[in-house]
Structure 1
Amino acid sequence: MADDSWPSPAHNSRAVTDIEYEKLAARFSDNGVYGNPADTAVVSAGTGLSVNIRSDVYASVRGHAWYSGTSTVTLPIAANNSGQTRRDRIVLRLDRSTWTVRAAVRQGAGSTAPDLVQQLTDTGIYEIPLAVVTVLNGASSVTVTRSELYAGARVRPCTSTTLNPAPVPGEVAVETDTGRVRVWNGTAWVLIYDNNGEVVVDQTVANWKISTSSVLEVRSGTVHLRLGTFQRTSSDLSATTQSRLPLFIPPEYWHPKRDQYGLAYVTGVQVARLTVFSAVSDTPGQVLLTQHPTVHEGDFVLPESMSWGVS
């Protein structure tokens, strides 16, 4: 058979069958309920051995739209006289014998909820989850644990200044000007990927010589600072005096509210502590030798690398 495509005037006069529609539409729409987990549960316990499907819920299963209707739908749950707890699933089920999607009960056989049936053929059924129902042995009522599968959100190209002003939870933005990838968590755009390359952060400071440069990199919201090697060039530094080291952290890499502390070795195998000051300090971005022995002229300070979050 020759290759084919649809819809097309060359294919069945543009008519499309249910099977052909599914193969096309299943890629247009994610399977799932329209909304997010902050919405009211789709399924709740009903009276006695039953569950209720709330009204005005929309979903998609393999490209087929489903609507719960304008009033509550009640599904009966089978009695359990097995001698053990039983768990059923409430599902949305596409039945290809009728090409309809309906809420349905997939009854379990024990304490583990039954697997979904997801047949990727031209016949059979395809299910997505809404809830798990627990039925105790001999019970006259049920409990419901929500497990809705929600339809996903789009991945949008944008710039750092044109993020979607009305995003939905799970929406992903790729900033073409920065290379950053962010996801909207319902309240804020959260950085999930960033790669700024290497930034040399050396800065001339009196009484210190840079022997090895300090280099900063950002990866997915975390700053990695490889501090350089510094030599005291004039006058001894008293153990009671703090001293600024010859580097400066640019504002976009400051921690928003907490100073960062690191260790350093001083000539003579002595230990010192340095502080990288945060955005809320009096000296943001500066790096000071804050606790240390006397550092003599010609001594070296060799700090360890440091990391902190910026988003």
Structure 2
Amino acid sequence: MTNTSSSGEMVYVEHKKDINGFHKVILREVRGCSAEVYLYGAQVTSWKNEHGEELLFLSSKAIFKPPKAIRGGIPICFPQFGNHGSLEQHGFARNRTWTVDPDPPPFATISHNKAFIDLILKPSEEDAKIWPHRYEFRLRITLGPGGDLMLTSRIRNTNIDGKSFTFTFAYHTYFSVTDISEVRVEGLETLDYLDNLKKRERVTEQGDAITFESEVDKTYLSTPTKIAIIDHERKRTFVLRKDGLPDAVVWNPWDKKAKAIPDFGDDEYKHMLCVEAACVETPITLKPGEEWKGRQELSAVPSSYCSGQLDPQVVLQSG
């Protein structure tokens, strides 16, 4: 696959169809990094560094067929995160086909970013039956020159009946890791979390960093704007920066749950970790005409060690 046009110019944004006829967009940058975005779900399914190494996890059993959400990458959870009431789990944005936004609003973005796509989702008549609100959900996905991946969501209440609406939200990011037992997460120490395996019991995190030896499904509250996910075996650190998203969900199904998920390989839990920028505990309420904005930026940097310890401040500052 060439990264240049017939005139020899760099192609930053390429529209394609996959083998199933799904429309997808490939974003590329000069150094060789890339990202792949499906219009189905507005979902990033691939993010590669300049060496062509895949940084996101996508299940080998992922189903690319509506109404199933794609297992892996970065699903968008809206208008709810979790499983409440009559809406399907994690809402419907991740299994609707979005369109390229013909009239995107001005985004405060660095002018030299050329690899980006603007997508939009509006309610269908079917959606209105299950969630009776009018809205515009705009999403810009940008691949920076250095390989950083940025997602900026803007959700506006366009109701004409004067009604507010309330929602919860998450970027359900699946990171690719070498071995989950060799991964640690820094930045969430000593925070309170809701343990979703124990009926959302509120607990205070102990210890200096989060490591993994069994199933975990936690919603951390009032989290910092930067979180580090350290893959010791690959000597790589993911840095997640977020804005407008106070919570962070950490999830790994482990062996028993993995075997019960039909679109997930039995042993794939060893090679993935979800760390999700989210707004879960306190839902967002928008009056007609109001807009909410939530952003996440991902970068991958080399990890350096000193007696097995990583100074997260060095990583976060250098990222």
* Common fold by TM > 0.5: no
Q: Higher helix proportion, which one? A: 2
TM-score (norm 2): 0.23
Higher relative contact order (CA 8 A, sep 6+): 2
TM-score by length of 1: 0.24
Which has the larger Rg? Answer: 1
